[in-house]
Structure 1
Amino acid sequence: MPAPEPGGVPLFPPLRVRGGRQSLRRAMRRRRRAVAAGLAVTAAALAVSSPQAAERTQSVATPAPRERGPAREAAVVSAPVRIADAETVRLLRPGDRVDVIASANSPSAGSDTARVVAMNARVTGVPAVRGGAPDAGALVVLAVPRETARVLAGAGTTSRLAVTLC
């Protein structure tokens, strides 16, 4: 039995699409740019509306205007502070927000002598407690405006300092 005749499929030249690769590349480039622009706008919106941005604006005060030049935001500095209760300091972690309270050194003074010396200060470090007197307290490093650091240093020499978590 002989083989059947081949089908009647005519020969035709291959199809060539003009600019196929180039238009695909152009479309992908446009899409990448659109996605990048969308991500940039989203990142900017999140940065402005984040709770951390609100905390930064609340915790950094502006100093009094100087004689020369415009008023600038107060520089944030690291302030080492000795807290009277070492066990409280063990609860702190970098990134925590605390209020620092100063109270009179003498127990005979009235309870109304306590005052807040720093509000919403960010903890940047909690050094390891080294050997020493148990009532010597513990050190904590806070990020505060320069003026607040000055007040903390003064209060640390005349008062016992305590912290409360915000």
Structure 2
Amino acid sequence: VVRPAVRTMAVPVRISDAATVRLLRPGDRVDVFAVADPAAGGRTRVIARGARVRNVPQPVGADPGASAHIGSTTNTDEGRSALAGGPSGGEDALVTLAVPPSTAARLAGASASARLAVTPW
């Protein structure tokens, strides 16, 4: 049985744990979770399953010839780094995921009201 190709979109997603993002490489698969504030009665829910990592940006000023591993973070006058202080003051990281359009909409909605986390496969 031949399945039709699934159309995907490249979606930048800010993940609340930069250390986890440092483990990712293009081609990896991840599940994405929205973690709402438990003090406000929030809960954790799965937003995407098996999303493919397309890109893990390097911090601003990183050597482009270096490994794809993300190093320490810095904010510079040129702009925010791919890893920067998040809303809670901790590090977060930007990663680009390939997901179907319906999942992209869920990711955008969830990121507006919750912190996002990933679990590598």
Tell whether the structures are fold-level matches, with TM greater than 0.5.
Answer: yes
The structure that has the greater radius of gyration is 1
- Structure 1 residues not aligned, in runs of 5+: 1-47, 49-56, 58-71
Corresponding position: 1:113 with 2:43: yes
Corresponding position: 1:158 with 2:88: no
Aligned counterparts of 2:98 and 2:29: Cα–Cα separation in 1: 10
The alpha carbon displacement at 1:103 in A equals: 0.9
Which residue in 1 is equivalent to 2:25? 93
The alpha carbon displacement at 1:97 in A equals: 0.4
Corresponding position: 1:148 with 2:80: no
For residue 128 of structure 1, give the secondary structure of its aligned residue in structure 2.
Answer: coil
More RCO (CA 8 Å, sep 6+): 2
Higher strand share: 2
Count residues with an aligned counterpart.
Answer: 96
RMSD: 2.4
- Structure 2 residues not aligned, in runs of 5+: 61-74, 76-83
Contact 1:74-1:146 within 8 A present in 2 as well: no
Aligned counterparts of 2:26 and 2:109: Cα–Cα separation in 1: 24
Contact 1:121-1:143 within 8 A present in 2 as well: yes
The alpha carbon displacement at 1:128 in A equals: 1.4
User: 1:18-77 CA deviation, whole Å, 9 max, x = no partner?
Assistant: xxxxxxxxxxxxxxxxxxxxxxxxxxxxxx9xxxxxxxx6xxxxxxxxxxxxxx865211
More deviation, 132-141/121-130: 132-141
1:36-47 equivalent positions in 2, closer than 5 A: none
Higher helix share: 1
User: 1:84-113 CA deviation, whole Å, 9 max, x = no partner?
Assistant: 011110000000000000011x34145x71
- Which amino acid is the alignment partner of residue 147 of structure 1? S
TM-score, reference length from structure 2:
0.70
TM-score, reference length from structure 1:
0.52
